[in-house]
Amino acid sequence: MNKQFIFDEPIFVTKAKLPEFEQYSERIKSIWKNNWLTNNGPLLNELKGKLTNYLNVSEIELFSNGHQALEIAIKALDLKGEIITTPFTFVSTVHAIKNCGIEPVFCDIDPVTLNINPDEIVKLITPKTSAILPVHVFGVPCDHNQISEIAKKHNLKLIYDAAHAFGVEVDGKGIGTFGDVSMFSLHATKVYNTIEGGALTFNDRQFGGKVFKQKNFGLSSATSVDFVGTNAKLNEFQAAMGLCNLESINEDIANREAIYHAYCSKLKDVNINFIEFDKNVKANYSYFPILLPNKEIRDLIFENLQKYNIFTRKYFYPVCNDFECYKETPYLTPIARDIGNRVLCLPMYSELSIDAVNQISNALIYELSQTNVLV
């Protein structure tokens, strides 16, 4: 260990974005004035308008969290049977499928983009398949052209888990315009937060009516219920947080971009892989995952960085089909498992200083040199 790279205070893998206290208190004054705390309030509607613009989408609905939003999307599309998804994701994706009474079918990933591999999707389609649910992992866009062609050809619905992809654009198009519906998580740990929160974006206005009712008990009026719904409403305090955080989002992502480039230039000569973005992608730099040569070295680096007060995260490890509740035989996703064994997310958040990034990188390079990985 090299003592000069120790931090005085712990550096965590992420840090929730909070606006200035005064800015938030100013925003919530109207809640007292209107005495309107939740249920389709004015702040919620102001936020919906602003997010529609920012995300460059045609329709949006907001929810109490991303997970509920995803379950509601699946229910509103009337899916059944099997849904093809990736095991290299946060377990929420798979739970949403299972909680709707549908079997998740795990598809292997591409070792470079870490996203679902379209060539593998085709092999898993059966008469029971009703949809494909890819994830834009770490904000890297999936191969939408190829995936949507497969979905069309086999008459499958296409739902994107865009939890990591807030603000991402491909060829100038909002990533939330892809497929039948996309889910964004607005959780405290994400690039942009409403404390807890989730969004669905889609192009079909009628679908919006359905998901709106789903989040409000299936009510169509005070005295009539159309179907069995749930409660997944975003309240006015969450909306106020969202309005405040939206004011700084461009600056936040610009800071993340600078951090991304600082890591890349420090680590470019080290024998580890990190994600890169195509030229046509406007990225959000939501995470900084690296791939180490093997699990042993990944686990060692994870442990040893803690001695420097640097807390990284093995994300996503284990992959979902290694969890007890989703174990399957035969095991068909060796690439996902291998990536899960080698991945490590380094600290990444808008307030992280470039000096800190350099120090984290120096500690990492030093520790790697002690393991005989080429530096």
Ligand X SMILES: *Cc1c(COP(=O)(O)O)cnc(C)c1O
Provide the binding-site residues for ligand X, judged by CB under 6 A. Answer: 65-67, 89-90, 92-93, 135, 161, 163-164, 185, 187, 198
The least CB distance from residue 268 to ligand X, in Å, is 27
Nearer to ligand X, 232 or 290 (CB): 232
Tell whether the torsion through CA atoms of 209, 212, 217 and 219 is positive or negative: negative
For residues 357 and 279, what is the distance between their CA atoms, to the nearest angstrom? 24
User: To the nearest whole angstrom, how small is the minimum distance from the Cβ of residue 95 to ligand X?
Assistant: 9
**Residue 90 or residue 192: which is nearer to ligand X going by CB?**
90
User: Taking the complex as a whole, how short is the minimal distance between the CB of residue 201 and ligand X, in angstroms?
Assistant: 14
Q: How far is the CB of 316 from ligand X (least distance, A)?
A: 8
Work out the angle at residue 283's Cα, subtended by the Cα atoms of residues 280 and 289, and round it to the nearest 5 degrees: 120
CA 356 to chain centre: 24
Task: Output the smallest distance, CB 164 to ligand X, in A.
Answer: 6
- Rounded CA-CA distance 222/323 in Å is 43
CA dihedral 147, 326, 187, 351 (to 10 degrees): -90
Q: How far apart are CA 336 and CA 119, in angstroms?
A: 15
CB of 174 to ligand X, least distance (A): 18
Nearer to ligand X, 164 or 210 (CB): 164
Nearer to ligand X, 89 or 245 (CB): 89
Residue with smaller CB distance to ligand X, 187 or 266: 187
According to DSSP, the β-strands at 281-282 and 169-170 are antiparallel
Rounded to the nearest whole angstrom, what is the least distance from the CB of residue 289 to ligand X in the complex? 13
Which 8-state DSSP code applies to residue 140? P
Q: Which residues have C-beta within 8 Å of that of residue 51, sequence separation ≥ 6?
A: 60, 62, 199, 242, 246
Using CB positions, name the residue nearest to ligand X. Answer: 66
Q: How far is the CB of 159 from ligand X (least distance, A)?
A: 12
Kindly list the distances between the CA atom of residue 34 and the CA atoms of 30, 37, 47, 236, 322, in Å, as whole numbers in the listed order.
6, 8, 17, 11, 49
Contact 54, 183 (CB under 8 A): no
Interhelix angle 295-306/354-370, rounded to 10 degrees, is: 130
CA dihedral 361, 367, 371, 373 (to 10 degrees): 10
Cβ at position 114, least distance to ligand X in Å: 12
Query: 3-state DSSP call for residue 83?
Result: strand
- Give 65 or 304: the residue with its C-beta nearer to ligand X: 65
Indicate the residue among 185 and 321 with the shorter CB distance to ligand X: 185
- Residue 113 or 359: which CB sits closer to ligand X? 113
DSSP-assigned beta bridge partners for residue 181: 159
Taking the least distance from each CB to ligand X, the nearer of 185 and 341 is 185
